Amino acid sequence: MAKLQNGNELIFRVAIAVPVYRLFDYLAPEQFESAHIKPGIRLEVPFGKAKKIAFLVECVQHSDVAIGKLKRVERILDEKPLLSTKDLALLHWASRYYHHPLGEVFSAAFPVALRQGKSVVIQAEKRYALTDAGKAIDSELLKRTPKQKSVLEKFQAHQHSLSEAELSEWNENWRTSVKQLVDRQLLQLAASSEFGASASESIIRNTALQCNPQQQAAITAVCDSLGQFGVFLLEGVTGSGKTEVYMQIIRTVLERGQQVLVLLPEITLTPQLEERFRQRFTVSIAISHSKLTDRQRACAWLTMQRGECSILLGTRSALFTPLKNPGLIILDEEHDASFKQQEGFRFSARDVAVVRGKLLNIPVLLGSATPALESLHNVDNKRYRLLHLPERAGDATAPVLQLLDIRNKRMQEGLSEALVAEIHKTLARNEQVLLFLNRRGFAPTLICHGCGWVARCGRCDANLVIHYDEGILRCHHCGQEQRLIKHCPACKTGELTPLGLGTERVEKVLAELFAGKTIVRLDRDSTQRKGALENYLQQINQGSVDIILGTQMLAKGHHFPNVTLVAILDVDSGLFSIDFHAPEKLAQMIVQVSGRAGRAEKPGRVIMQTRQPEHPLLTTLIRQGYNSFAKTALAERKDASLPPFSYQALLRAQALDAEMPKLFLHAVAELAREYTKGHTDILGPVAAPMARRAGLYRYQLLFQSGKRPELHALLNVLMPKIEKLKQAKKVRWSLDVDPVDLY
């Protein structure tokens, strides 16, 4: 029934993943079942020369486009929408809030396979489990078939089934051995879904740990609020037992027959948590992050959508996964900047999670040892409820933080004599040392001792970083590389000298100073190889490593129980950034790195080398802790009318031409001034902190208002006009609502 009663054709208004702030109208397909026509269904439509997948937004009777120009929907792909009405409302909200085209927002919510129009019938990946015979057998009996023996041991070490993906992650060549073990009836194909454990069957596998009163209070607070919206900020230092709190709350949610979405900032953190969850819960757990194949992600998405799986563990992009029976959203390490998407649809997974929780009427649990200032502010204004875990669980004591004044001290490649002595003492006690330096490579600068020439990137406003191991100079911003040169290209005579410190360089001096000790360097360069990080972590935890040296990567999640001394080699570099977020990020980094030490019975110490021993950020943090720092920092933000006491949106523009981005933003600023009525400040345009990157010149324009509605009202009128601006066609531009870094 394509015709309406009045003789007009029914119009399908759809969203398509193109960077255009507009929906498209189509004629209804030749034939369709009107009962199936619900917002959110996927359609195949002709678009320009190509066919595209579109998402139905609404059906209307009239189109502003001449009827003759309308094309017809080619095919209806779904019998019913894959997203609930509430999740569709969430996407509409996100599109409006982030001023991003609805089609692209829809696209972000779907896994690639479904975005491309694939059918929802996707083969789930196989899982294998031990048979009773497999559980009972002594693996030594298989010593003549070592490959099968090791596979068997892998299964026996876990109490649960393993998926094809997990096996591949462990060892690429598992298939033959698994097949042989299946033939010997030691392994079997696990039930396609472990979910649906009948009520009589237990959801949990092993018993929960004993909780302290604060943990218990947190568990009770969230559990009492199940079935209604509320945001909880679970603040607990490393080792305070946040994960145990999560697991006990999850158990209650599962017992209610509901699902849980757990978001983490990084892929590297998923295996640990997955393992703990699998040890605890019998229900099936889906995983979703960018290192998985499209099929695996689509599979995780669909099993959650159908309610065949109870827990989803994923990164930022898993936020939009539909839940048949939503019960709870957990977002761990909520302060982490990785939750903010930094390109395209620039959403904050934390903020969208809160809105989703509100729409679904379920609680949202945010966890961190170092909550974002914004979240603490939301506690102050009663939007979030604080759940505090002040103590370290068990007997572990908190590490002692101290500043090491290195002014006028003799330094050897960034290491003061005092620090070297401390490292020696620690190693003598057979304990591990962890050194943190947030700069990879050998040295950040190559300078000519003769004429002052510096190796610069030809495409960015940045110096090339020396990577001695690879014999190259590399730009850390655009990735461009060139061979490491020996002679100055400018004066031809001068000697080229590395200036500054990177992890490679510190590693080299450590090898000299602590000859005979095992040193492991953990940074993006040393862990590029698949499985390299896991390998190193295993070595470290087995105690075969004495000194661990690394970047950022060390600050997140991994625990090093035998580390008793942590040193932050260069804390000062974080003190002088132009970005107002820098002190917050630095304080979080210090506390997070500190959390790596002193977990077991051995107390930990944290030494920070500084030339600013009186710096208020450092002294407040050390003497009074993160919360006092946060109070001070929030007070400063308030005085300066910075977020969270004001609201920002940053318009960025870049182009090959040096002038166009500035001209474009000037035109926008001029337009904006016509509409703002003084409620919103228009700051700039100014050159971006890195004015040129990957060959493109970059400018930015900041909008800031004390009232969010004012800011959004301005952006609402501005965006369509920006799109039509003639200068807009000569630059690449993007809007970033609530920017977290001003680069």
Partner DNA sequence: AGCACGCCGACT
Partner DNA sequence: GTCGGCGTGCTC
Token pair 């020396």: residue = 466
For DNA, the closer CB: 67 or 451: 67
Paired with 548 in beta bridges are 434, 520
Among 10, 15, 24, 551, the residue binding DNA under the rule CB under 7 A is 24
Contact between residue 366 and residue 232 where contact means Cβ atoms under 8 Å apart: yes
Q: At what angle do helices 242-255 and 213-224 cross, to 10 degrees?
A: 30
Q: Pick from 32, 47, 93, 170: which binds DNA (CB under 7 A)?
A: 47
Residue 53 bridge partners (DSSP): 44
- The tokens for 322 are 């539909």
Of 48-56, 146-154, 373-381, 669-677, the window that binds DNA (rule: CB under 7 A) is: 48-56
Choose one: 64-72, 83-91, 501-509, 510-518; the region binding DNA (CB under 7 A). Answer: 64-72
The amino acid at residue 387 is L
- Piece in contact with DNA (CB under 7 A), picked from 20-28, 174-182, 267-275, 633-641: 20-28
- CA pair distance 278, 228, nearest whole angstrom: 27
Q: Which two tokens stand for residue 151?
A: 């596979």
Q: Does 729 bind DNA (CB under 7 A)?
A: yes
- Name which of 12 and 128 has its Cβ closer to DNA: 12
Near DNA by CB under 7 A, which window of 65-73, 197-205, 213-221, 355-363?
A: 65-73
Residues 715 and 736 sit within 8 Å (Cβ to Cβ)? no
- How distant, in Å, are the alpha carbons of 131, 135, 284, 299 from that of 160? 11, 11, 10, 20
- Contact between 75 and DNA by CB under 7 A: the answer reads no
Residue 157: CB minimum distance to DNA, A = 44
How far is residue 576 from each of residues 220, 324, 571, measured CA to CA in Å? Answer: 43, 48, 10
CB-nearer residue toward DNA: 18 or 386 = 18
CB of 321 to DNA, least distance (A): 24
Q: What span, in angstroms and rounded, lies between the C-alpha atoms of 317 and 305?
A: 15
Phi, psi of 473 (to 5 degrees): -110, 135
Place of tokens 């039930």: 191
Strand order in the sheet with 326-332: 285-288, 311-314, 259-263, 326-332, 363-368, 230-236, 384-389
- Is 451 annotated in a binding site? The answer is yes
Residue 25 found at the interface with DNA (CB under 7 A): yes
The window from 23-31, 345-353, 626-634, 668-676 that contacts DNA (CB under 7 A) reads: 23-31
> Is 211 annotated as a binding-site member?
no
Residue type (1 letter), 74: E
Q: Rounded to whole angstroms, what are the CA distances from 692 to 24, 306, 446, 490, 659? A: 36, 47, 20, 23, 12
Q: For DNA, give the closer residue by CB, 47 or 229.
A: 47
Q: Which is nearer to DNA, 104 or 194 (CB)?
A: 104
Least Å from the CB of residue 478 to DNA? 18
Nearer to DNA, 43 or 245 (CB): 43
Under rule CB under 7 A, residue 22 binds DNA: yes
To the nearest 10°, report the CA torsion of 204, 207, 209, 213: 80
Buried b (16+ CB within 10 A) or exposed e, 623-634: eeebeebbebbb
Question: Which of residues 19 and 479 has its CB atom nearest to DNA in the complex?
Answer: 19
Strands (E), 620-713: 647-655, 680-693, 696-705
Q: Min. distance of Cβ 613 from DNA in angstroms?
A: 49
Binding mask of the shown chain, residues 472 to 511, with x at each position contacting DNA by CB under 7 A: ----------------------------------------
Query: Per rule CB under 7 A, is residue 46 in the interface with DNA?
Result: yes
Q: Is 488 annotated as a binding residue?
A: yes
478 assigned ligand-binding residue:
yes
Transcribe 45-108 into DSSP letters.
EEETTEEEEEEEEEEES--SS-GGG--B--EE--SS-SS-HHHHHHHHHHHHHTT--HHHHHHH
Nearest CB to DNA, comparing residues 20 and 640: 20
Residue 191 engages DNA in binding (rule: CB under 7 A): no
Please write down the HEC assignment for all residues of 203-235.
Answer: CECCCCCCCCHHHHHHHHHHHHCCCCCEEEEEE
Q: 331, 389, 366: which is closest to 211 by C-alpha? A: 389
Sole binder of DNA in the list 20, 136, 490, 640 (CB under 7 A):
20
CB of 97 to DNA, least distance (A): 20
Query: What is the spatial distance between Cα 70 and Cα 56, in angstroms, rounded to a whole number?
Result: 15
Q: How far is the CB of 336 from DNA (least distance, A)?
A: 28
Written as six digits, the tokens of 390 are: 């002040």
Nearer to DNA, 72 or 631 (CB): 72
Q: Which of 49, 382, 483, 486 binds DNA (CB under 7 A)?
A: 49
Segment interacting with DNA, rule: CB under 7 A, options 69-77, 272-280, 492-500, 643-651: 69-77
E strand map for 421-490 = 432-436, 445-448, 465-467, 472-474, 481-483
695 binds DNA (CB under 7 A): no
- Position among 1, 3, 58, 71 found at the interface with DNA (CB under 7 A): 71
For residues 489-522, one letter each, b for 16 or more C-beta atoms within 10 angstroms of the residue's C-beta and e for the rest, the string is eeeeebebebebbbbbbbbbebeebbeeeebbbb
Considering only 62-70, 310-318, 482-490, 566-574, which stretch makes contact with DNA by CB under 7 A? 62-70
Nearest-approach distance from CB 725 to DNA, in angstroms: 11
**Nearest approach, Cβ of 22 to DNA (angstroms)?**
6
Q: State yes or no: residue 65 binds DNA (CB under 7 A).
A: yes
Given the complex with DNA, which of 9 and 164 has the nearer CB atom?
9
- Look at strands 259-263 and 326-332 and give their pairing: parallel
Task: Determine, following the binding rule CB under 7 A, whether residue 724 of this chain makes contact with DNA.
Answer: no
Judged by CB under 7 A, the residue of 30, 31, 50, 395 near DNA is 50
Smallest separation, CB 717 to DNA (Å): 20
Residue from 48, 471, 516, 678 in contact with DNA (CB under 7 A) = 48
Contact status: 70 vs DNA (CB under 7 A): yes
> How many residues are recorded in the chain?
743
Buried residues in 714-735 as b, exposed as e (16+ CB within 10 A): bbeebeeebeeeebbebbebbb
- Binding DNA (rule: CB under 7 A), the pick from 62, 69, 410, 486 is 69
Please classify residue 176 by burial: count the beta carbons closer than 10 Å to its beta carbon, then call 0-12 exposed, 13-18 middle and 19+ buried. exposed
The only residue of 57, 63, 97, 437 in contact with DNA, by rule CB under 7 A: 63
Residue 309 labeled ligand binder: no
Cα 663 to Cα 653: distance, rounded to the nearest angstrom: 10
Q: Which stretch binds DNA (CB under 7 A): 1-9, 47-55, 188-196, 390-398?
A: 47-55
Stretch that binds DNA, among 63-71, 90-98, 183-191, 295-303 (CB under 7 A): 63-71
Residue positions forming the annotated binding site for Zn(2+): 448, 451, 457, 460, 475, 478, 488, 491
Binding site residues, DNA, CB under 7 A: 18-20, 22, 24-27, 45-50, 63, 65, 69-71, 729-730
Residue positions forming the annotated binding site: 448, 451, 457, 460, 475, 478, 488, 491
